Amino acid sequence: MSAPLTILGIETSCDETAVAVLRGTPDARPQILSHLVLSQIAAHAPYGGVVPEIAARAHIEALDDLIAAALKEAELTFSDLTAIAATAGPGLVGGVIVGLMTAKGIAHAQNLPLVGVNHLEGHALSVRLTEEATFPYLLLLVSGGHCQLLAVEGPGNYHLYGATIDDAVGEAFDKTAKMLNLPYPGGPSVERAALAGDPARFDLPRPLIHRPGRDFSFSGLKTAVRHAAEGLGKERLEPQDVADLAASFQAAATDVLANRAAHAMARFIEDYPGATRTLVVAGGVAANQHLRSHLEAAAAARDFALIAPPLQYCTDNAAMIAWAGLELFALGHRDTLALSPRARWPLDQKANHPGAKV
């Protein structure tokens, strides 16, 4: 077994300022020495969504102190680190710049190697923080900006099976919450409201569900929710109307995700006949318990095991960035100080799919 690596991770791609320190090797689950996330929910809530300029300023104000706090909690100094890993994209480029430039400054001042991490790769590998997930595995990546199915062969080695042709499922959750006057962030609010709702009350569409393939579409579902709400003919929806619409939307979105994942499982078996059958769900929407239960049933029907990261590692966090950085560093990956932030950065750079150009 190789010597343990100690990595400081920085994540600033959207509206969470996050720093983590972990120690380990790629062939064993790491020791997470510190894991800090400073949420900006209160700053963005009045606008019903993330305001990029506000997010970038908040990262600038918080990041230095958060790094100091993470090192203090880990009982380490910069001299104890093996390398520093930071999100280099994709994301809101102002926020990405803040984290990456900070990482560059530390790397230069402390003579530390720098690893620029694809935020999506952080999610893709996050399950390996806590679970035995051997390569290759099938990944359903679902978040506010991304909805993809990929075969994961290892760090830097991804094969796209399908992606959204319009909206990401997380965006559809957020827009549905806004239409139903539910508080920001929308995904958790829809899930909470749905607990008291009847998922069969509104007959909402399941886009692409009867077609072959592994792509997703959610714009029509989002429009159908708006039409259903308007069709009630009320100036303000009653609480039960909101709960039923939330439950109906969540059921439709989950059916689409499970159906497309089933198609991807069939493809994965063809491509990797001797591999362990594992379906990993990651990203912010992976925290949705209704989705997890339906994916688990779909996976079991095809002799796949469903694995998901713990809830704290589903949403944006720096532990996943540190871990992805560790896996890449162990393979010999290093970046220079000329590394540029990227607003778009697909995992499978060979894929010719509009939904993968993120």
**Tens of pLDDT along 162-203?**
999 999 999 999 999 999 999 989 999 999 999 999 999 999
Q: Residue 358: is its pLDDT beyond 60? A: no
The model's pLDDT over 138-158, given as tens digits with 9 standing for 90+, comes to 999 999 889 999 999 999 999
| pLDDT computed for residue 48 by the predictor | 84
pLDDT of residue 115: 98
Count of other CB atoms within 10 angstroms of residue 334: 12
Within 10 Å of residue 105's Cβ, how many Cβ atoms? 13
Decide if pLDDT at 323 tops 90.
yes
> Which of these CATH numbers, 3.30.420.40, 3.90.230.10, 3.40.50.970, 3.40.50.300, describes 5-129+313-351?
3.30.420.40
User: Mean pLDDT for the chain?
Assistant: 95
Q: What pLDDT, on the 0 to 100 scale, is given for residue 264?
A: 98
Beta pairing class for 157-163 and 147-154: antiparallel
Per-residue pLDDT at 138:
98
Question: Is residue 248 over pLDDT 80?
Answer: yes
Could you tell me the residue ranges of all domains in the chain?
5-129+313-351, 137-308
pLDDT of res. 356: 56
| 222 contacts 172 by C-beta, under 8 angstroms | yes
Token digits for 327? 């896996």
Cα–Cα dist 64/317, whole Å? 16
Tell me the pLDDT tens digit for each residue of 272-295.
Answer: 999 999 999 999 999 999 999 999
Say which amino acid occupies 145. G
137-308 and 5-129+313-351 share a CATH fold = yes
Residues in the chain: 358
Please report, rounded to a whole number, the percentage of residues in the chain having pLDDT higher than 90: 92
Q: What is the pLDDT of residue 288?
A: 96
Summarize the confidence of residues 123-143 as an average pLDDT: 97
Q: How far apart are CA 280 and CA 187, in angstroms?
A: 20
Given pLDDT bands bounded at 50, 70 and 90, which one contains residue 352?
Answer: confident
What would the pLDDT profile of 59-104 be if each residue is shown by its tens digit? 999 999 999 999 999 999 999 999 999 999 999 999 999 999 999 9
- Is the pLDDT at 355 greater than 70? The verdict is no
Enter the tokens of residue 206.
């399941």
Q: What pTM did the predictor assign?
A: 0.95
Angle between helix axes 239-271 and 169-179 (nearest 10 degrees) is 170
pLDDT in tens, 95-119: 999 999 999 999 999 999 999 999 9
For residue range 251-262, what is the model confidence (pLDDT) as tens digits?
999 999 999 999
Query: Domain 137-308 adopts which CATH fold?
Result: Nucleotidyltransferase; domain 5 (3.30.420)
